[in-house]
Structure 1
């Protein structure tokens, strides 16, 4: 099963033993961190400058991440407002030496564009 759909991931990472929770799966906070990093890369590119995470919506853990999974984090712009950018993030685990792919979580991350004083600013259109 291929869930990446031919897209390139923003991040690819392999969890480390220190990232395991008491159940033997990868800690949810670690996954959330990877998602925020990937979404922030796309948001900063779109905003042409600094951004800050202001909301995480509709996040759902679908399947656990295992220690030897290769994690691919995909991120796409869902909408752009006056000062904010919403990024849809999907995490896919590659297992069994690449023989299987499992969607493990997704979510919607909202960022605000920041000025030099760390205050919200208008998103610069056409900055790509």
Structure 2
């Protein structure tokens, strides 16, 4: 929306990061089978520009799992409003910690790795 842009019509990077965090959080919650919170966001780059009206898609992959954490790579791809051309507009890495009912970190369930793609090394 126009409120999410700079004076030149480009979408703010912070808005893109928020959308990527939502997508990555959805994957973290599904794989972790419960509540997951962002504890860090790193390695961000904004190689392209997104305009108001472009369609945004966010693609995420689990890079690594720890005892209580998931590291997820996210890419944001914009498709022009009235066409098919696409541009990678942002990429970055999020780390999530799984949270239990008591509000404390909890271990990833043993069967959680069954939800990960078979070609990933998530040891």
Maintained 8 Å contact 2:2/2:9:
no
Q: Structure 1: which 5+ residue stretches go unaligned?
A: 1-15
1:98 and 1:116 map into 2 onto residues whose CA distance is 46
1:36 and 1:99 map into 2 onto residues whose CA distance is 25
Equivalent of residue 116 in structure 1, options 81, 101, 113: 101
Does residue 38 of structure 2 align to residue 66 of structure 1?
no
| Alignment map for 1:1-128 (pairs within 5 Å) | 16-95=1-80, 97-127=82-112, 128=115
1:83 and 1:108 map into 2 onto residues whose CA distance is 17
Give the TM-score of the pair, scaled to structure 2: 0.86
1:102 and 1:61 map into 2 onto residues whose CA distance is 11
C-alpha deviation, 1:96, in angstroms: 5.3
Higher helix share goes to which structure?
2
C-alpha deviation, 1:22, in angstroms: 2.3
Q: Structure 2: which 5+ residue stretches go unaligned?
A: 116-123
How many residues are aligned here?
Answer: 113
